[in-house]
Amino acid sequence: MQDSGHTPEWNGPTVERVMRNGKRIYVSAFKAWLVEQALKPEVSVAGLALRHGVNANQLRSWMKLEHWQSSPHTLLPVTVVADARPAEVVATTNARQPTQPKGVMEIEVGGTVIRLRGPVDTEQLKAVLAVVRA
């Protein structure tokens, strides 16, 4: 495979040792560097793995491990757009809960648009974003 020049090459040792059954134990610094390269935008994980002699599935499993990721939380760009329709007011029967207008929020992650209306449960939103990112 010809190198496209987008990814720098690793110059250090890659394999710490090879076990009797042929399984390779990779150097931690190499794994961390490879995951860092794979997390960059526009990088082919399969091509990167092939170029460095690692199975693509192995590299993807390393990418899922939190301790290899330099930043566990990635900030996504947000665009706030005014809704052309008037905000709806929800009437509640409980006098202790104030009525609030429903808002609309759109989040775009990797070409997928998520539109949220009204109150949003934070835990559910985290779960949805985790699925969309994967």
Q: Can you give the residue ranges of every domain in the chain?
A: 15-68, 75-134
Dihedral (CA of 112, 110, 70, 66) sign: positive
Where do we find the tokens 């939190």? 66
Phi/psi of residue 23, nearest 5 degrees: -65, 135
pLDDT value for 46: 93
Each residue of 28-39: pLDDT tens digit? 889 988 988 888
Residues 74/102, Cβ–Cβ less than 8 Å: no
Dihedral (CA of 89, 93, 94, 95) sign: positive
Residue 112: how many other CB atoms lie within 10 Å: 12
Which residues of the chain fall short of a pLDDT of 70? Answer: 1-7, 66-75, 82-103, 134
Instruction: Name the pTM for this structure.
Output: 0.46
- Encode burial over 6-29: b for 16+ CB neighbours within 10 A, e otherwise: ebeeeeeebeeeeeeeeeeebeee
pLDDT value for 4: 53
Q: Which residues pair with 108 in a beta bridge?
A: 113
